[in-house]
Amino acid sequence: MAERGARLLVADDNKVNRLLLSRTLQLDGHQVQSAENGRVALEMLRAQGFDLLLLDMEMPELDGFAVLEHMRADADLRDIPVVVTSSLEGVAHVARCIELGADDFLHKPVNPVLLKARVNSSLEKKHLRDQQKAMVRRFATAEVAQDMQTSGFALGGRRVQATVMFSDIRGFTTLVEQSSPEDVIELLNTYYTLMFEAITANGGVVNQMIGDGLMAIFGAPRPLPEAEAAAARAALDMLELVQLFNTEREREAKPPIMIGIGIASGDMVAGYTGTQQRATYTCVGDTVNLAARLEAHTKQTGHSVLMCADTAARLGARFTLEPLGPVQFKGKTVATEVLALGG
Amino acid sequence: MPDTPLIDATVFAELQDTAGPEFVVELVDTFGEEAPQILEELRAAHREAAAERFRRAAHSLKSNSSTFGATGLAEMARSLELVGMPADPGPVDALAAELEATVVALKQRARAGAGGG
């Protein structure tokens, strides 16, 4: 697919080159502006949004190599594709341009057919990259996307100290049976929007959604100071939002929803699991299992939020806690002290 | 229209074809205005023994003359760019003469192309 009508910047100190390149690209349907040296080109790139830069190497004031270096150091300019147009001879120059981040290299005089092909291919690659970034953001959370951008994607994990939260809707199966499919999806969408809001506003990361349940991590992939308190605050926010949501549902003569939340803190292994083709950021380990068990245990206790003693110990006096005594969970050799969080 | 040996007819025709004959007239005129300045820079760099400036000016002339298919001029500029500054101004004078003749030929050819359709 040819990308027509893109905004291109031509940087060349030679007027004949500038005019000819601009003309050729305009004939291909692009909007073209030009700069007579590297300094002007950088100013224009920073001031306006360009889709691609055609860059000459030998220019006064700031040459093409310096422009590439500046662009690489600038997060806003780093992703703008650069096609180098130069009559510099020798592969060393080409190699250096590519090392500095140029997408492609065209020798002058530039062949118009090649120019069109390279520009379109670079624009298409940029379009794909933009789409991928948007996709990663949609499916992975901003924190994970950022983590992947800075440290790259690698399967495998590391040991972290974090707080994990599990939450789900009580009696959801019955609710599904009594409601139309459209109502169920609408309910889930609203519910998730509210829960995401409460969790991300407190620094957590929602990393899994399964049916009506979700898993959130506080303190990974990025460290979070007082992750336990953040999780507790998120839990209270979630309860409050559910209450507001229920008031709305009551007006529509719909049954209220109830949620259960389990929180556990401790050591866990965090990282990307899956295959090279499909992977997810998650945390695994005893602490994670415990959070899931605590969430399930809310059904028996009548409390909405349960947590382990390790989480409670780090909350301080800011929260109302009710010790429920030790509970023997399935798969655990020793009983776990369980505490309920009061609203 | 007799073929001028100064210019590669195929390259020039392709340029007219892709950029449009009227635009090529404009482009040749721009070259006619810019080239004497680049030549002056080349001479000044030679006088002042500024090797890097000399190479850059030769590089610019090479790049533009190749665009128009001015093969002879491009070759002379290229040799100055790669070999470096000559001891005497002989090669620069030769290039100046070639440049003058080339610009005349280019203007003639460009206008013939634009007028003749």
One domain for residues A93 and A176: no
A127 and A239 both lie in a single domain: no
ipTM, 2 dp: 0.88
Residue of B nearest to A113 (CA): B18
Dist CA A206 CA A229 (whole Å): 17
Do residues A122 and A83 touch, judged by C-beta distance below 8 A?
yes
**Token output for B87:** 């001891």
DSSP code of A155? B
Q: A306 forms bridges with which residues in the sheet?
A: A262, A340
Residues of B in contact with A24 (CB under 8 A): 18-19
Flag whether residue B32 sits within 8 Å of chain A, measured between CB atoms: no
- Residues A160, A84 share a domain: no
CA separation for the pair B85, B78 (Å, rounded): 12
pLDDT tens for chain A, residues 1 to 343: 444 589 999 999 999 999 999 999 999 999 999 999 999 999 999 999 899 999 999 888 899 999 999 999 988 898 899 999 987 777 888 888 988 989 889 988 888 888 999 999 899 888 887 877 776 666 566 666 666 666 655 566 778 899 999 999 988 888 888 888 898 888 998 999 999 989 999 999 888 888 889 999 999 877 888 999 999 999 999 999 999 999 998 998 888 999 999 999 999 888 777 766 666 778 888 899 999 999 999 999 989 999 999 999 999 788 999 999 999 988 788 889 999 998 6
CA A200 – CA A143 distance, rounded (Å): 10
**Chain A CB contacts of B26 below 8 Å:** 19
Dist CA A216 CA A204 (whole Å):
6
Same domain, A119 and A176: no
Residue A21 belongs to domain with CATH number: 3.40.50.2300
Chain A residue whose CA is closest to B61? A14
Shortest CA gap B45–chain A (Å): 15
- The size of the A-B interface in CB pairs under 8 A is 48
Query: What's the pLDDT at B2?
Result: 44
Q: List the one residue out of B103, B96, B100, B81 whose CA is nearest residue B39.
A: B96
A37 Rama class: left (phi>0) / alpha (psi -120 to 50) / beta: beta
Which of A152, A156, A81 shows the shortest CA–CA distance to A121? Answer: A81
CB spacing of A24 vs B20 below 8 angstroms: no
Tell me the sheet residues that pair with A342.
Answer: A320
A132 & A166 share domain: no
Of A20, A87, A108, the CB nearest to B19: A20
Q: What is the pLDDT of residue A150?
A: 61
For B11-67, the pLDDT digits (tens) are: 999 999 989 999 999 999 999 999 999 999 999 999 999 999 999 999 999 989 999
- In the predicted structure, residue B115 carries a pLDDT above the cut 60: yes
Among candidates A22, A64, A21, which has minimal Cα distance to A40? A64
Class of the CATH domain delimited by B9-108: mainly alpha
Residue B59 to residue A87, Cβ atoms within 8 A = yes
Contact (CB, 8 A) for A11 and A59: yes
Task: Give me the mean pLDDT over the B79-89 stretch.
Answer: 90
Q: Does A289 lie in the same domain as A316?
A: yes
What's the token pair of residue A131?
């789409």
The residue range of the domain holding A97 is: 7-139
Task: Please check whether residue A96 lies inside any domain of the structure.
Answer: yes
Cα–Cα dist B105/B117, whole Å: 18
* Contact criterion met (CB below 8 Å) for B28 and B106: yes
Of A88, A111, A139, which one is at a domain's C-terminal end?
Answer: A139
Domain ranges across chain B = 9-108
What is the distance between the alpha carbons of residues A223 and A217, in angstroms, rounded to a whole number?
Answer: 10
